[in-house]
Chain A
């Protein structure tokens, strides 16, 4: 019997009686990472990586939660379970399951390039691999992040020369911390409250995150103009940005790779910086697992699965409700501003 089942509640391990990243409430949920499309409300009990715990508590409130470090194996109803770095955001994990010699890995979201802040991705050998394919087209090939950060810094310096305020748009969980870590040597970084809240949790949990300044109404616009401002996507077109001194907005997202993506967002600059694997990254990750069967959960699922089959890796697409980080993030911000 297969170790994984795809049900209308989420990915289910029947032998262990637990779900991975369920989208409907279940008894026991193993969570790959803290993004809202993977970690949802209403489960009776949660298991996640120790660095995901502060995020889950922050986002979901008082919940029953158990944690694991990477690479430590436990047993649930006879199924061996361990977490392995997925390199997507801080605390993100691939979930490895082993039962009677059969091994499956559910990777959640991942990227193979080390971003300097999340624990770097580690390939895990398995029979069955569950993969995302957010950027599962060969047009998505990221530049090395060192080059992208150099471009961002140059752009910020140009803005400063023209008395413009540099505003970077990035997800509050993941992309924001990655920017902070890699841009800290450029100058002061001012962050939106939603990002500042998460940062505090990370620092409490022992993450080595450079200091940032929480944006409050009493910070002068002239002061913000000297540094880099980071806001979540929901604020990118908001009124607040218009109150800044000549804001120049730069969106940091893999979708910026394509001109259409840049135009659609009407920003002043787009940087193709993603926390998801690009096409070569997806292929590299899948091949490294040695898996006989691959399930593709979200993104360009049909395309990626078909290609894998053509290169003799058996693959199928499955319907899930992952892959809308952006909308979830907006929902979250609405809640935060209400509270």
Chain B
């Protein structure tokens, strides 16, 4: 596991993509053969069953380190990562073991079904034979949550480079169904298993935000405009009688959306649709806040099915009668997409995302201003002669979003950050005015430069009024403009509403606290989104 620990350290200490890829290539060229598939599985989020619960791990770490529970909690808050906190807080190891990575993983899997006493003795024994860096890795193996800044794409690029294979094939291969104990590294990069696998999705084509004016894109007739929907990007795969719904995060979400299951009967085999999962009622797209009720739930009740019915607005056809269409032009794919939808017997649920017609960029700009009326976030611009790219590629697909909503607020609480910002006050709570009172409407962590963070940090240290554990109440003086994507009713929040994806847009040094927005301003905005 030393070699793998070294890899993680290399990946963590560099923020340059090329260094990271070089570290990965080097690893896959020198590491133990049997370890490699496990590493790929880990980096693509294939989690083995968790052998021991977090609660137990924490309990044993507290016991072994001899610190009180509150002190462990404080340490955790400062470190920002449980695996790392445990690695650091335990007493130094008394022994040394040198097992391979896959041996550790399998040893952990063997714990499943054992008694807590047996599990505990194995975990304590392991902690006592690994140094801090390896202990951290070991703890990550237990939790299965390996987040170290290696995107799927970066991993795929490294594997492609190391094995001199086409990256698309590798992307297919590692996104499919396979188990690290059943395949070799060679089989994996050669993609031996993907042809027999019905479920594999295509890598999503992603768009960049448009930073220029659209007239710089050339002739409007070369482009197709669509609404940019605010839902869940999804890919629907129908092959050999089976239906799969994949989300952007490459998760299978088929079970979450029973409304779409009719496609299993009605779509032809060898069909793959790309589009947006939305809440659609009476043909209208509903606000994201309504769709949200349906996300990440194990069970769905009747009222949820009734209030937030699901629809799928499809805008691309990636596979047709088993043939990969991605190299064909958008124009050709769109024609086939529309004819595919004509064959569906069930209507009103799976629809072609409408093409917005326009004659000039000026006209389109005016249409874009009305995006909020149909609960979209703006427009998508797609080149009619473009293929369906793998991943994010500049030039053929553009997001032309309308500006976010904004509200002027005052900072009332500050808290020290987690992780890399653990020693600065970086997490702030913002309020708007409601008569005489200040009502919390958002918490935000990002949007300031390091210099501004230091400035706010100094302000907080000098102007703290009260202290509640790690939180400081500060004088309501600093005004921040908060940008957000949407607004929803919320019983959990005192304000009665919640902002979606709030972040600091600007520090309004030119404004004083008396000039901030009121709760009534936000209520009016909420009403206007619900009535459309």
- Please report A residues at the B interface, Cβ cutoff 8 Å: 137-141, 255, 257-264, 266-270, 300, 303, 306-307, 310
Contact = CB atoms under 8 A, between A and B. Distances in A.
A258 B84 contact: yes
B85 A264 contact: no
B186 to A, nearest CB: 30
A149 to B, nearest CB: 17
Interface in B80-96: 80-81, 84-85, 88-89, 92
B422 A261 contact: yes
- 10 closest A-B pairs by beta carbon, nearest first, are A264-B420, A139-B88, A260-B420, A260-B419, A263-B420, A139-B75, A137-B75, A138-B67, A303-B74, A138-B89
Given A264-B420, A270-B13, A307-B68, A258 B74 contact: no
Residue of A137, A139, A255 with highest tally of chain B CB at under 10 A:
A139
Contacts of B70: 306
B13 A268 contact: yes
B78 A139 contact: yes
A300 B78 CA distance: 10
Interface string B391-407: 00000000000000000
Contacts, number: 62
B88 A310 contact: no
A260 B13 contact: no
A261 B424 CA distance: 11
Interface residues of B, number: 28
Contacts of A262: 12-13
Contacts of B14: 268
Nearest to A255: B423
A258 B88 contact: yes
Given A138-B65, A139-B75, A260 B15 contact: no
Interface of B: 12-15, 65, 67-68, 70-72, 74-75, 78-81, 84-85, 88-89, 92, 136, 418-423
Given A138-B67, A138-B89, A258-B84, 7 more contacts: A137-B75, A137-B78, A138-B65, A139-B78, A141-B92, A259-B84, A300-B78
A292 to B, nearest CB: 22
A234 to B, nearest CB: 13
B13 A307 contact: no
A266 B15 contact: yes
B15 A139 contact: no
A260 B85 contact: no
Contact of B80 (A260, A300, A310): A260
B89 A139 contact: yes
A267 B422 contact: no
Contact of B79 (A141, A260, A270): A260
13 contacts: A137-B78, A138-B72, A139-B85, A139-B88, A139-B89, A258-B79, A260-B79, A260-B420, A262-B12, A263-B419, A267-B13, A268-B13, A307-B71
Contacts of B68: 307, 310
Contact of B420 (A138, A261, A268, A306): A261
A259 B75 contact: no
Given A258-B422, A261-B422, A139 B79 contact: yes
Given A139-B88, A268-B14, A303 B71 contact: yes
B77 to A, nearest CB: 10
A208 B498 CA distance: 64
Contacts of B79: 139, 258, 260
A303 B73 CA distance: 11
Nearest to B148: A259
Nearest to A265: B420
A262 B15 CA distance: 11
B65 A260 contact: no
A42 B24 CA distance: 56
B133 to A, nearest CB: 10
Contacts of A307: 68, 71
A23 B314 CA distance: 66
Given A138-B65, A270-B13, A310-B68, A260 B74 contact: no
B80 A263 contact: no
A259 B65 contact: no
Contacts of B418: 260
Contacts of A261: 420, 422
A150 to B, nearest CB: 14
B62 to A, nearest CB: 11
A223 to B, nearest CB: 26
B499 to A, nearest CB: 27
Contact of B421 (A141, A264, A270): A264
A299 to B, nearest CB: 10
Contact of A138 (B15, B75, B92): B75
A141 B66 CA distance: 14
Residue of A137, A255, A257, A306 with highest tally of chain B CB at under 10 A:
A137
A306 B85 CA distance: 20
Nearest to B72: A138
B88 A260 contact: no
Nearest to A268: B13
Given A137-B78, A267-B13, A268-B14, A260 B71 contact: no
Contacts of A306: 70
A269 B422 contact: no
A233 to B, nearest CB: 13
Nearest to A250: B13
Nearest to B421: A264
Contacts of B88: 139-141, 257-258
Contacts of A269: 13
B75 A263 contact: no
